[in-house]
A = this chain, B = another copy of it.
Amino acid sequence: MASQVDKTAVPFDKTALEGVLNRRFFYAPAFEIYGGTAGLYDYGPPGSALQANIIAEWRKHFIVEEGMLELDTTIMTPAPVFETSGHVARFADWMVKDTKTGDVLRADHLVKNVLEARLAGDKEARGVAAQPAAEDEKDKKRKKKAAKSAAVKLADEVVTEYETVLAQLDNFSGPELGELCRKYAIHNPDTDNEVSEPVQFNLMFRSSIGPTGAYPGYLRPETAQGHFLNFSRLLEFNNGRVPFASAQVGRSFRNEISPRAGLLRVREFTMAEIEHYVDPGDKSHPRFAEVRDTRMVLLDRGTQAGGHTTTRELTIGEAVDQGVVANETLGYFMARIHTFLLKIGINPQRLRFRQHMANEMAHYATDCWDAEIHNSTGWTECVGCADRAAYDLTVHSNKTGHPLVVREALKEPIVEEKDVPEWNKKVLGKTYKADASKITEAVEKLDQAALAEVKKALEGGKATVTLADGRQIDLTPEVLTIPRKTLKTSVREFTPNVIEPSFGLGRILYTLLEHSFWIRAPTKDGERAERGVLSLPPLVAPTKVLIVPLSAKEEFDPLVAEVSAKFRKAGIFSRVDDSNASIGKRYARNDELGTPYGVTLDFASVQKRTMTLRERDTMDQRIGPIDEVIATVADLVHHRIDWEGACARLPAYDGVQAVE
């Protein structure tokens, strides 16, 4: 039987995790040998593979499973697009400058850091337990510095005031943040200099398209606009029918003011976005029944407005039935997002869906829920799921004059009797000249009741209409008649609403690494130090199996080649480690890389064609004929059996050589 592993024996150690991620090149600061650039990171081999595996599963879970239409649109975008979408005017943060050094700080982060540090100092002075354990060293230092004098007791009413400010931080405008800086003497904690009034800084990277300099362009801050601009083509591709969804995985850019949170706040990132187009009159979802019983942890708008963060667990069916979640389609995607995150290895105990508060949401949005994942910095938004209503398609359509609408053939045409104005155009033009169009305009916009009155007046020989400019004009039956007609409408035209699940892949990847990391306690003999392990699920693990020949001796080469080829044929990504390090060291290195399985080739392999199989978390070792071990690994990786199943097939390894 598989042995039990206690992954919590050693407490979570962020510094140890960061050491592993850096040493094993999951990712590293970009342009490191040039001194690095804040907010830009390069993914190395394990990070790239982990990201690629997450994206592959995302494609399967969303695009293939739901038959979505995939897109790959342009990053460089001409300015008019973002003028229309509102990004040029509103996609900005408030920043302040150090009045002496000119250093730039994000205003809300400054207020938050300084007040939190003062509250921490107060707690320390009062002898209450200080910082939460999960914070990393750098942040602690920064906050300590921000507080200047670490342990200063504050008056009780000041504590309450600070706490109230912090709770409402997202609500403050730039000028209000400036006022807070003055009121609470908030200075740049690095220099203790005063800061300037907050000014807005647009977060889009700007460039220029073509050689003339006349065409400004921006790097997209999200992939969404590329979907919306292609709506007509997508609709046609889908035979003119909604609902359907477009999907895209791609790079986006935000010129953050002073990014300092690793992969959680970066200037260049990979997103995966879905835009699901739906009839505004019918937001039910045909597959909602399949997800109805998914249990989810929700933090709704009302709870937050009451100043609380108490979550409750509901099925998504209950949440939609009770009106907590606005509609079935939104609920369907929330449940699908939930399932996806669990599948790739996110800890369900550290996942919640938080509803946007009224003032937090874009003005046009109907409802919005963020999938937040808990990590050492607190709760982080990793997936947004918003009902954006008809906003985007409407503004682009209005700007370009290109209709972005669905034209739906009605099953039953609508037949109506109506009064319809008919003009004698010749007489009209001759009699009224330049006023002719104003007159027709005034009459066309009358409703049926008003038209009936004009009709009655005309029957009396003369009707008077009021133009837009206030003048009154007399009309005769010679120029205008208003017959009763039967009208048939067989097409309904509408702008679809958009439900948008939007994934920040870097944030998901980083939180997944935190959730997967634990430290193996030293063995009892005290000889071995603590060792980090990344318990990534086989589904997303960068490498599925490590092939370890006992040594780099040539006699193992044919066997290594054979086993590699067989794993490749089984569709399993393996790597060979034939370095000079001991087998134990090589396995320890691969525990850090999250490689779930390892096979060892030794002299017995050459002679008897057997191979040992090691499981990462338990370090259990089994033995069997080479082909049977390969088949077992294939079944494990493809989720056809679990480790207990493998143990039932392969006997425990009791070899003479200690292989760790």
Contacts and interface: CB of A to CB of B under 8 A. Distances in A.
Interface string A61-85: 0001101011111111110110000
A212 B268 CA distance: 18
Report copies per complex.
2
Interface stretch (A158-166, A203-211, A331-339, A603-611): A203-211
Interface in A244-260: 250-251, 253, 255, 257-258
Contact of A74 (B31, B71, B74): B31
Contact of A45 (B25, B47, B52, B71): B71
Contacts of A95: 211
A43 B30 contact: no
Interface stretch (A140-148, A225-233, A463-471, A521-529): A225-233
Given A71-B42, A255-B211, A229 B31 contact: yes
Contacts of A67: 575-576
A38 interface: yes
- DSSP majority for the A interface? mixed
Among A41, A51, A67, A210, chain B packs the most CB atoms within 10 A around the CB of: A210
A211 B215 CA distance: 22
B209 A255 contact: yes
A44 interface: yes
Given A49-B70, A71-B42, A229 B400 contact: no
Contacts of A41: 74
A324 to B, nearest CB: 31
Nearest to A404: B33
A65 B577 CA distance: 16
26 contacts: A30-B74, A31-B78, A31-B81, A32-B230, A33-B404, A34-B81, A34-B400, A37-B215, A38-B210, A44-B69, A45-B71, A47-B72, A48-B70, A49-B70, A51-B72, A64-B568, A74-B268, A75-B253, A102-B212, A104-B212, A201-B211, A207-B219, A208-B255, A209-B255, A211-B258, A219-B219
Interface of A: 24-25, 28, 30-34, 37-38, 40-45, 47-49, 51-52, 64-65, 67, 69-78, 80-81, 95, 102, 104, 201, 205-212, 215, 217, 219, 226, 229-230, 232-234, 236-237, 239, 250-251, 253, 255, 257-258, 267-268, 270, 396, 400, 402, 404, 568, 573, 575-577, 579
